[in-house]
Amino acid sequence: MSKHALCIGINDYPGTQNDLSGCVNDANDWAAALAARGFSVLRMLDSQATKAAMVAAMGGLVGKAVAGDTVAITYSGHGTWVPDQSGDEPDQRDEALCPWDIGQGKALLDDELHALLSTRATGVRIILISDSCHSGSVTRGNTSELDPGMPRARFLPPEAWMGDVDLPAAMPRRLAGGIARSGGDLLMAGCLDTQYSWDTRFNARPNGAFTYYALKTLAKVGASASYTQWFRAITPACLPTNQLPQNPQLFGSATARKWKVFS
């Protein structure tokens, strides 16, 4: 049994005027946590994370994995959507991740991600962690570590990178849940489809709010904790809060939710 991870963090989005600040730290933090749990880790940061490079790296990990292996993919960066061209989305939107070259129109669509991950061999576990938009309310959690000032949403409006000319009139500015159908066994997402995941600072260090609390609780839940137990430690105890109105999500079968975290 082998364990392999790909940790992607993109702060720099040339041509969009929508740079972030905490995503590279997120990727480095996930990489350290996964390495400590026995994963071999590949990191892709900023300009390394073009669409072609992301597809090649994901395809390489999935293609080499055999029964009993675990592949973990973490993504911190912008999320976006494009008008659905295949007719498989009831809300007429395909969800997408935003590679470094999104300014050149290089979105990584949920349909593409599904096709890529569905090539995995039988018995390979795939865990996806997305700290991007997908993103609630309620007043819970201790935000004493959160620096003052408003956080920034990890959502890149389609018009910021593809132009209004390509968009249908009156298309709602929200994301669909396509990444949840990506072909992985488990997805942990930073927020609901109708919310934002927030890019902010804790103790003067930039991070994604979901990543910060996910890793903080991971260190406390114990080595034998299941994904359900870990998820329940994140929400509602840590998120959402008034300042960080995002409801983390866990998608996967009842069996997968009972798996030991990163086993």
Q: Which residues are catalytic?
A: 78, 133
How many C-beta atoms lie closer than 10 Å to residue 137's C-beta? 11
Alpha helices in 102-149 (DSSP H): 110-117
Element (H, E) at 56: helix 51-64
Q: How many CA atoms lie within 13 A of 180 on its CB side?
A: 17
Q: Is 110 helix (H, G, I), strand (E, B) or coil?
A: helix
Residue 71: CB partners within 8 Å, gap ≥ 6?
4, 5, 6, 61, 62, 65, 120, 124, 125, 126, 127
Amino acid at 137: S
